[in-house]
Amino acid sequence: MSWRDAITLAVRTVRRRPGRALLTVLAVTLAAALLTALLTISTTAETRVLDQLSSGGPLAGIKVAAAEPDPGQVDQDDAQPGAPKNLDDAARQEITDLPDVREVIPIVSTRMFVITPARDKDGHRIDPFQEDVVGVDLDKINQLPITLTAGRLPVTGSTSEVAVTQGYLERLGLGRLDAPQVLGTQLAMASGQVVSNGETNRVRGRWTKVTIVGVVAQEASNGQFLASTETVQQARDWAAAGVDASSALDLPTSPYTGLFVVARGIDNVSKVRAQITAIGYSTAAPENLLASVRRYLRVVEIVLSAVGIIALVVAALGISNAMLAAVRERRREIGVLKAIGARDRDVYRVFLVEAGTLGFLGGVFGTALGWLIAAMVGRVVNGYLAAQRLVGVQLTLPWMVVVGGIVGSTLLALVAGTLPAVRAARLPAREAVSGT
Amino acid sequence: MAPDRARPSTRALVVVGVVAVLLFGLLAGCSSGSSGTASEAPPVTDPVAPVVYVALGGMETLNADRRDLPDNWPQLLFAEHMAPGGVYVNLATEDGTVKSAIDGQLPAALGAHATVATVWLESADLRLGTPLRVYRDELTTLVDDLQAGGMKVYLLRSGPSVPTDVAAPLQSTVAVVAGQTGATLVDLGDISDRNDDAGQRRIADTVAAAIGADLGGR
């Protein structure tokens, strides 16, 4: 019996028992799908995070403060800044020109007077208070250490919207789960300007009404409010236009409160930090944290792969079981084959080809299904990331996973089918024909 | 033998197919509801040119003699009648006369690129005895310059507290200037209760009735 005859016979057998064949293929399909989906998701997740690490982003950013570096702390992740020092356009340009810097995002903040309509637990009006408002370019939010936890981010350039932090919720006596309560609330915020009539100074407020549209966790700068750069800059300009503004209101003189510097790759973070320190500014970057993240990502990938492989092994056991049942059911058929001259190795070949066919089909369908599941998961993830104003993920299906899924399923099926094939081949012809 | 066995297998095929379709439907359903936190967020409103409201005046507008800032009439007007993104600046000074407003408050109003202005300047000029003609000319200049700066101007005046109020001639002059300049006159009536929260609320409501639509809010 040739290989061609064996394949024809195997296909015919599969077609004659479509239910069993379908269930066997389905088992392999589901296992291969699970493996493909897990590997695709873990590869994409790792690529995404490693992209952040290698090409820059919130994880690989360096925070530059408007302050002198403290020589004793330059190598610490969260170094304490030294004496205040103006961070102006010249310094920004100098840092931007560093060879391993990809992007420099300015951060401005200002202290504002806030009136909230919220009331405390006893129903009393909350006294007006002063708090820092952090202004950033909201188009570059995905590169900053800012995470949306409820609602949405203010529209880019908007002067009528702000997001608040957990600190604001705590000020109102609210917990994290109460965040939706503050969404839509309108606040009155004012920046002060010192004016003089020649004899006395007084503070004149520039009030603006803003709506809370979201709750964020942010580490860009200290402050319970996140707004557009325009909102903060207008407030700073108003304050700066007053007489002797910096001393009367204790306002910062630095044009920028800080800079968020994105290095060209995680490997350049230390070098860029040292260069910025040499320019004369204090920096902070989570270098130790990043090293830990990389290690844990590897562990996650190994665990996910192990889960997929376990699923494949279970599927292989299913194939083996189905083939053993087939041998038992088809004893008479095996006997007839042997009676008309088929050798042991011919019977062995028929059963092995049948197992291989089931494994191959399961591998093909499973890989396709796994990709489909990964794509759906990717769609959900991208929807979430889009709501967070973050860059979406691009799913990557490594060719190794495709080839490995199909070839691996086929090989595993062949291995699983070996024992039943050997049993079928060794079945004595007379015993097989008699069906005993 | 084979056809007999094929029948239950076909049924199994149908069952498996239905389960697969349901599974895919479930996954597709999960993927479509991905917006997460966005649903609870306030809607994005179309950006409009912000209203910048300035209040020019004296002690009646500054209310430096009152403690509760949020309950002062300009603050109430801002809080309750301005659209989000709107800007309000109280330019009033304790001893604000029309002359001092031209010198100090007018440049600030123009610098703030205000779109709406209220002017309430009575008490200091009355106390200092500014001649009515001078008062009229200076107030006309102030309103003209504000209007030239692109502002819609509302002239506020208090009504007589008593029939023989000494302020009556000055209050009449405000109406004359409003008529000449095209500014909108807002009669506040008796303001003897100005120091009370209720009085501030009444003034805010009266001004809001005239000016509210220009502030872009309710």
Closest CA to B93 of A202, A9, A387: A202
pLDDT at A138 over 80: yes
A318 or B206, higher pLDDT: B206
Q: Greater confidence, A218 or A434? A: A218
CA distance B74 to B56: 10
Q: How many residues does chain A have?
A: 436
What does the DSSP assignment read for A90-122?
HHHHHHHTSTTEEEEEEEEEEEEEEE---B-TT
- In this predicted structure, the answer to whether residue A22 has a pLDDT above a threshold of 70 is yes
Res A52: pLDDT: 57
Q: Nearest-CA neighbor of A410 among A315, A305, A304?
A: A315
For residue range A113-128, what is the model confidence (pLDDT) as tens digits? 999 988 877 888 888 8
> Minimal Cα–Cα distance from B213 to chain A, Å?
16
Residue A241 has what pLDDT? 84
Residue of A nearest to B64 (CA): A202
Question: Measured between CB atoms, which of A117, A160, A380 is closest to B85?
Answer: A160
Residues 6+ apart with CB under 8 A from B180: B140
Query: For A164-204, what is each residue's pLDDT tens digit?
Result: 999 999 988 888 888 888 999 999 999 988 888 777 788 88
Task: Give yes or no for a contact between A212 and A183, defined as CB atoms under 8 angstroms apart.
Answer: yes
- Tokens 């800044």 belong to A81
Residue B9 and residue A20: Cβ atoms within 8 Å? Answer: yes
Find the range with the poorest average confidence among A151-155, A295-299, A400-404, B24-28.
B24-28
CA distance A347 to chain B (A): 20
Question: What value does the mean pLDDT take over residues B76-85?
Answer: 89
Across chain A, mean pLDDT equals 82
Instruction: Provide, as residue numbers in chain B, all residues whose Cβ is less than 8 Å from the Cβ of A18.
Output: 6, 9-10, 13
Interface size between A and B, measured as CB pairs under 8 A = 136
pLDDT digits (tens, 9 = 90+) for B123-172: 899 889 999 999 999 999 999 999 999 999 999 998 766 555 677 888 89
Residue A77 has pLDDT above 80, yes or no: no
Q: Please report residues of A whose CB lies closer than 8 A to that of B82.
A: 209
**pLDDT tens digits along A245-281:** 556 566 778 899 999 998 887 778 888 988 999 999 9
Mark yes or no for CB contact A150/B37 under 8 Å. yes
In this complex, do B37 and A152 lie within 8 Å of one another by their Cβ atoms?
Answer: yes
List chain B residues with CB under 8 Å of A20. 9
Select, from the ranges A30-34, A339-343, B202-206, the one with the highest average predicted confidence (pLDDT): B202-206
CA angle B205, B207, B209 (to 5 degrees): 70
Tell if the CB–CB gap between A150 and B45 is shorter than 8 Å.
no
Which chain B residues touch A if contact means CB-CB below 8 Å?
Answer: 2, 5-6, 8-10, 12-13, 16, 27-28, 30-31, 34-38, 40-42, 44-45, 47, 50, 69-70, 75, 78-79, 82-91, 93, 104, 108, 111-112
Which residues in chain A are contacts of B79 at CB distance < 8 A?
115, 117, 188, 209
The answer to whether the Cβ–Cβ distance between B31 and A23 falls below 8 Å is: no
For B41-57, what is the mean pLDDT?
78
Residues from chain B contacting residue A195 (CB–CB below 8 Å):
104, 108
Name the pLDDT band for B33 (thresholds 50, 70, 90): very low
Which of residues A80 and B31 earns the better pLDDT score? A80
- Is pLDDT at A342 greater than 50 in this prediction? yes
Instruction: Closest CB to A211: pick one of B27, B34, B84.
Output: B84
Dihedrals phi, psi of A145, to nearest 5 degrees: -80, 65
Q: Is the dihedral of CA B175, B53, B72, B67 positive or negative?
A: negative
Nearest CA-CA partner of B98 in B127, B74, B130: B130
Q: Compute the nearest-CA separation of B195 from chain A (Å).
A: 20
pLDDT at B165: 67
Which residue would you say has higher pLDDT here, A417 or A393? Answer: A417
Residues 6 or more apart in contact with residue B113 via CB below 8 angstroms:
B52, B150
pLDDT at B215 > cutoff 90 = no
Question: Hey, what's the torsion of the CAs at A67, A71, A76, A79, to 10 degrees?
Answer: -20
Long-range contacts, stretch A386-395, CB < 8 angstroms, 24+ apart: A387/A148, A387/A152, A387/B34, A387/B35, A387/B36, A387/B37, A387/B38, A388/A147, A388/A148, A389/A138, A389/A141, A389/A142, A389/A148, A389/A152, A389/A153, A390/A141, A390/A142, A391/A142, A393/A44, A393/A45, A393/A48, A394/A44, A395/A40, A395/A44
Of the candidate ranges A101-105, A335-339, B194-198, the one whose mean pLDDT is the lowest? A335-339
Q: Do B69 and A128 touch (CB under 8 A)?
A: yes
Comparing A372-376, B65-69, B93-97, the range with the smallest average pLDDT is B65-69
pLDDT of residue B2: 39
- pLDDT above 70 as % of chain A: 91
Q: Which residues have CB under 8 Å from A84's CB, separation 6+?
A: A66, A67, A68, A252, A253, A254
Question: pLDDT tens for residues A307-334?
Answer: 777 877 777 787 777 777 777 777 777 7
For residues A121 and A34, what is the distance between their CA atoms, to the nearest angstrom?
51
Set out the domains of chain B in order of their start, with CATH numbers: 52-215 (3.40.50.1110)
Q: Which of B31, B59, B76, B100 to mutate to test the interface with A (most CBs of A within 10 A)?
A: B31
Measured between CB atoms, which of A23, A210, A214 is closest to B84? A210
Question: Mean per-residue pLDDT for B93-115?
Answer: 93
Contact yes or no for B41 and A183 at CB 8 A: yes
CA-based nearest distance B160→chain A, Å: 31
CB B115 within 8 A of CB B52: yes
Report residue B34's pLDDT band, with 50, 70 and 90 as the boundaries.
Answer: very low
Between residues A387 and A306, the one the model is more confident about: A306
Give this prediction's pTM: 0.67
Taking CB atoms and an 8 Å cutoff, what residues of chain A touch B36?
Answer: 383-384, 387
